[in-house]
A and B are shown apart, each in its own frame.
Chain A
Amino acid sequence: MKGNIIKYAQDNIDTDVIIPGEYLKIHDYAELATHAMEGLDPDFHSKVKEGDFILSGKNFGCGSSREHAPIALSHSGINAVLALSFARIFYRNSVDGAFLLPIEIDEDTYDGISEGDEIDIDISTNEIKNITKNQTYKMKPFSDIIEKIISAGGIFKYNPDQN
């Protein structure tokens, strides 16, 4: 999974800035995506490209349970968010709805990757390659359960007797 990094070097990016409350009335996901990150970065929609990744600090996605948050990012083209830690409802929504991969990283990885870097994430080996800087980091592996739900394609497709 290759893409470029959009870095928000801060902690506590909350779901109200990922998708402000006034847009929760929007039913169409493509339209919702045009407002992604608007509360923090009004330029996000114009700069994000299909396959990009977001990199951020601790407690990403804190606040509301709105699934609109991972949906808006996913429909903007974001395939994964790399963060030092995640708020649990955001993490769960991302995985259960199969919208994007929430990837936990360590401080060295966070410091090592810069805005615009091209990286390649391999979740089978838990490796993150920084193609731009020719560096390699380790992501925190998904738990067995999360890995199974991801490979099933979301909570509805997950069956503990089969997966």
Chain B
Amino acid sequence: MGKTLFEKLWASHIVVEKQDAPSLIYVDRHLVHEVTSPQAFDGLRINNRKVRRPDLTIATMDHNVPTNDRSLPILDQTSAIQIQTLEKNCKDFGIKLFDINSPNQGIVHVIGPQLGITLPGSTIVCGDSHTSTHGAFGALAFGIGTSDVEHVLASQTLWLEKPKSFEIRVEGKRKNPHAVTAKDIVLSIIKNIGTGGGTGTVIEYCGEGITDLSMEQRMTICNMSIEAGARAGLVAPDEKTFDYLRGREYTPKNYESLVDSWRDELKTDGDAKFEKQFILHIDDIVPQVSWGTNPGMTCDVTELVPSPDEFSKGDLNQKKGAQKALDYMDLKPGTPIVDIQIDRVFIGSCTNARLEDLIEASKVIRGQKVSSTVKAMVVPGSQMVKKQAEDIGLDKIFIDANFEWREAGCSMCLGMNPDILSPGERCASTSNRNFEGRQGTGGRTHLVSPVMAAAAAIKGHFVDVREWDLN
């Protein structure tokens, strides 16, 4: 019987395999950031260990860096210490660091692909759950905790139990691909399979609805695999993948010969069997807006906020969860989504802060102004994205519309840097999690695509962006 892409990636990285035991898996790339690494480096020092492969380890600072003027000192002392600690750890252990002043600094899941560090067929880990993003290139990429970060630093390997394989086939074509985006596809998937629907699996996304997407759009899909509980998400590499990585700063010198082997090997065999399958038809999907406090609590922009009974379909805990979410979000069942007024707009995060995201959002706002009731910001995913955007004049379009134009970082995705919501504020956000307090204590998050966020910024409430001319 044939093998799935995941099974091939797994098999090609086994160092030790035994019956009824986890396998020791080799790690090709280890990405490090300031928040989940300090204790791991402490552990190395205590045990007098070195970093096994500093040449395969790359670090940057993204989670708690301020996104305002980089020439200003970092006011939050604990953030400043965490950033200085990463600098010291990288220096002591010989790890390449893209620091706060580097032109390559940015969200770790944005810079990996941009620099050609993320490669098809490789294994990539990072102390961050959105490492699944890199799976868009046909890499087996997943988030790990700090104990595992230490284990990888020390050994370049990880003990793992083999996850199950899950095929998500996306069939059909979007009618309006500028208004209905990759974000809407992945939110639709999570809405259908639930936040635990992918638990214990590696998802392979396939079908016309996926191969049609650009690399940046595929990254948005794989990024949110973890929101369905999956370890990782994968897309088989194709010519778009190979073209994207060609000629980047860290793309290997023997790239073309690597591409030749990837082209043959990195795909699921026709007779391979997945342990789980889900099919999403996208011909008729519409822009999605989350209304609750996890990404599965999402509906069409044309719908009404559901009642707990409608949402739960008889499950008591689901019903209680929905009621609690509605209370937290201060929403009443039956309210049209387009009637929900917003206070803030955040275009950013490892989900949706790449160049294409900013180009698409700029088409929505060109020549318009942000509603007087809304405060809106754009935080490019990396300093490279920022520069590319500025080179084509996007900064001017956003600034003219009264968006703030920031430096790169995780920013308002996760409330651990100065960019946070105030209690009670309601935000249209292109990020990945709408958990209680995620964007700041008491903050209310609605997950949407960049074009939906941009349109909401202009109108002051959600709108169906399909009604706008985005060509």
Contacts and interface: CB of A to CB of B under 8 A. Distances in A.
Interface of A: 9-12, 14, 16-17, 20-22, 24-27, 39-40, 57-59, 62-67, 70, 85, 87-89, 92-93, 96-97, 143-145, 148-149, 154-156, 158, 160
A21 B420 CA distance: 11
B140 interface: no
Q: Please report whether the interface of chain A is mostly helix, strand, loop or mixed according to DSSP.
A: loop
A105 to B, nearest CB: 14
Given A11-B318, A144-B21, 19 more contacts: A10-B320, A11-B321, A22-B415, A22-B420, A25-B78, A25-B82, A27-B81, A39-B435, A63-B226, A63-B435, A65-B127, A65-B129, A65-B143, A66-B35, A67-B39, A85-B199, A89-B231, A97-B145, A156-B147
A154 B147 contact: yes
Nearest to A20: B437
B151 A25 contact: no
Interface string B35-71: 1101100000000000000000000000110000000
B197 to A, nearest CB: 10
Contact of A67 (B81, B131, B147, B196): B147
Contacts of B148: 92-93, 96, 155
Contacts of B144: 65, 89, 92
Contact of A62 (B79, B196, B324): B196
Nearest to B197: A59
Interface of B: 16, 18, 20-22, 24, 35-36, 38-39, 63-64, 76, 78-79, 81-82, 127-129, 131, 143-148, 150-151, 159, 161, 195-196, 199-200, 226, 229, 231, 294, 317-318, 320-321, 324, 414-416, 420, 433, 435-438, 441
Contacts of B16: 160
A149 B21 CA distance: 10
B79 to A, nearest CB: 6
A107 B48 CA distance: 46
Given A58-B196, A144-B20, A65 B78 contact: no
A65 B145 contact: yes
Given A16-B433, A65-B36, A57 B129 contact: no
A57 B196 contact: no
A62 B195 contact: yes
Contacts of B320: 9-10
B35 A25 contact: yes
Given A20-B441, A25-B35, A64 B129 contact: yes
25 contacts: A9-B320, A10-B320, A12-B195, A14-B294, A21-B415, A22-B415, A22-B416, A24-B64, A24-B416, A25-B79, A27-B38, A27-B81, A58-B317, A59-B199, A62-B196, A65-B127, A89-B145, A89-B226, A92-B145, A92-B148, A96-B148, A97-B145, A145-B20, A145-B22, A160-B21
Contacts of A156: 147, 150-151
Contacts of A96: 145, 147-148, 151
Contacts of B129: 63-65, 89
Given A25-B64, A25-B416, A67-B36, A87 B196 contact: yes
Contacts of A17: 435-437
Given A12-B321, A21-B438, A65-B129, A160 B18 contact: yes
Given A16-B433, A20-B415, A9 B317 contact: yes
Contacts of B79: 25
A56 to B, nearest CB: 10
Contacts of B433: 14, 16, 63-64
B146 A155 contact: no
B226 to A, nearest CB: 8
Nearest to A158: B159
Nearest to A148: B21
Nearest to A11: B317
A88 B78 contact: no
